[in-house]
Structure 1
Amino acid sequence: MNGIARYSSYEYLTFHRDGHVLTVEFNRPDEYNAIHIPMHSELARVFAEIRRDDDVRAVVLTGRGKAFSAGGNVLKGPRPTAGPALDAFFKDARKIVTDLLEVPQPVIAAINGPAVGLGATLALLCDITLMSRTAIISDPHVTVGVVAGDGGLIAWPWLIGMARAKEYLLTGDKLTAVEAERIGLVNRVVEPEQLLEEAGTLAARLAGGTVRAVQGTKQALNRIWLDTANLTLDAALATEKECFASGDHALAVDAFRKAHAEAKAAKAVAEASA
């Protein structure tokens, strides 16, 4: 099956093809493209689908609306707990990371807004990252009581070194686009209105190259990250899974929700009395 028709079964990812360039958008704009369980399941199959699509020679990954992706759906929706549902969730989590790393076509992340948690991981595991000047990026897994096990442990140390990776993964602190570029976390900072055009132009350039040379170079480089995944990913996901099963994550999320509600109420009172 050729063209966009092969991607017609996806609900939370949208697709646009321009020649040999495929643009994939996270499509939950009203929720800042937060990754709930159905979207997580779609991500667990989309990269293998792209890998089989010989008409695609480069990919742009971005988010619809104001965000790239706010990561896991912390404030809304059910959370998987111990049992078959949690087991399936973490099998998909591993598959998402390894499938993305095994996509032979070059993948460009166009980080159009906040890239948080798994959203940050997906962006940083791409081959080239362009980031809107107004975007932020962070991996705050620890702030919601879980290990940064979904692939962040692969990307951050290789991109910015172990010392900086530990600082940002242990604190969950946010980085601006300018700071992310300065320390080497992303490739370029781009003005918001130029982001998709620049990403598309770069993708078209890569798609127009010699397929075997471009894809072979990428795949050889990604062996380094795949070796790192084989070293760290299973252990990281196992300890992250324990955080879900033990209730640590649920307690942290409840505290996060309470703080969020209190901040929202305080803002409403301040606005009413202004």
Structure 2
Amino acid sequence: MAEDLIVHSEGAVRVLTLNRPEKLNALNPAMHEALADAFTAIESDDSVRAVLLTGAGRGFCAGADLTQNMGSEMRDLGASIDKHYNPLVRRMRTLPKPVVSAVNGVAAGAGANLALAADIVIAAESANFTQAFIRIGLMPDAGGTHFLPHLVGDARARGLAMTGETITARQAAEWGLIWRCLPDEGFMDAALALAADLAAKPTQALAAIKRALNASGTNDMDAQLDLERDLQRGLGRTPDFVEGVRAFAEKRPARFTGAPASRR
């Protein structure tokens, strides 16, 4: 039986491939458990400096596997959200390492919002995004009602959520929903190159950027300025900062290690 999640490393990049292509990689409990285990391993492995999340076959992720609920009567969907979706989104957003989503095909419902939980989202030209929840009498979850208005504004967020309209990868990039739309040919090579580039950057600085951006939605300007000061103070004590300045002075590429800040 095939694994629901394929996990492998490409240098300092941990690649996670959702692997139920016959179901457009729809999320089931086994896949959720595999993702939880994968992120637990990533959190404790200093050799992993970036994460690349993608899907096998022609889809990224079609959301929850609805076929497992056929014939079910009304039930507590919140229990599944609490157990699986919310912890996954929180882990991706707070992981002190960059996460890249490479959307290679259909990204629908919770699958679309799983993609948006990454730090950087790229998509192949043939990919598309759908907030499909309304089609089955639900509302966006897995962070959808947070990500959408922050990324595309209130008007477009309401339109996407309430109509369930599908938009192309190119349109998603034009709206600012994702970072870039790339050609299908060579897409995964480009995604891996992006993740590898992030893995070579100063890890502590990337972690600080994530912390600051995550806080910016609720902080007022004074609080954000103080947070920037505190985070920058810590970065000034890292070996990567010393290396970056030295490399700049010596006119050579920096060799960042991701080592933590000095406690002095």
Give me the TM-score of the superposition, normalised by structure 2: 0.75
> Paired residue for 2:106?
114
Give the C-alpha shift of residue 200 in structure 1: 1.0
Distance in 1 (CA, whole Å) between partners of 2:80 and 2:158 is: 29
Please say if residues 110 and 141 of structure 2, whose CA atoms lie closer than 8 Å, have aligned partners that are also in contact: no
Give the C-alpha shift of residue 226 in structure 1: 8.6
Give the C-alpha shift of residue 88 in structure 1: 5.2
Distance in 1 (CA, whole Å) between partners of 2:172 and 2:76 is: 38
Please say if residues 114 and 142 of structure 2, whose CA atoms lie closer than 8 Å, have aligned partners that are also in contact: no
Residues 41-98 of structure 1, C-alpha deviations (whole Å, 9 max, x = no match): 3334433432222111011110011100111112x22367667896355332221221
Q: For 1:53, which of 41, 45, 48 is the aligned residue? A: 45
Higher RCO, Cα 8 Å, sep 6+: 1
Residues 207-229 of structure 1, C-alpha deviations (whole Å, 9 max, x = no match): 111111122112221234698xx
Give the C-alpha shift of residue 113 in structure 1: 0.3
TM alignment of 1:29-40, pairs within 5 A: 29-40=21-32
Distance in 2 (CA, whole Å) between partners of 1:142 and 1:110 is: 25
Q: For 1:135, which of 110, 124, 127 is the aligned residue? A: 127
Give the C-alpha shift of residue 158 in structure 1: 0.8
Q: Count matched residues.
A: 217
Q: What code does the residue aligned with 2:187 have?
A: L
> Paired residue for 1:149?
141
Please say if residues 54 and 60 of structure 2, whose CA atoms lie closer than 8 Å, have aligned partners that are also in contact: yes
> Paired residue for 1:197?
189
Residues 100-132 of structure 1, C-alpha deviations (whole Å, 9 max, x = no match): 111111111110000001110011111111110
Is the counterpart of residue 11 in structure 1 residue 3 in structure 2? yes
Is the counterpart of residue 77 in structure 1 residue 81 in structure 2? no
Distance in 2 (CA, whole Å) between partners of 1:172 and 1:85 is: 20
Q: Structure 2 unaligned runs (5+)?
A: 220-264
Give the C-alpha shift of residue 196 in structure 1: 1.0
Distance in 2 (CA, whole Å) between partners of 1:104 and 1:225 is: 18
Distance in 2 (CA, whole Å) between partners of 1:165 and 1:26 is: 26
Q: Structure 1 unaligned runs (5+)?
A: 1-9, 228-274
Q: Alignment partner of 1:71: what SS?
A: coil
The percent identity for this pair of structures is 35
The structure carrying a bigger helix percent of its residues is 1
Is the counterpart of residue 165 in structure 1 residue 157 in structure 2? yes
> Paired residue for 1:220?
212
Give the C-alpha shift of residue 199 in structure 1: 1.1
Give the C-alpha shift of residue 185 in structure 1: 0.7
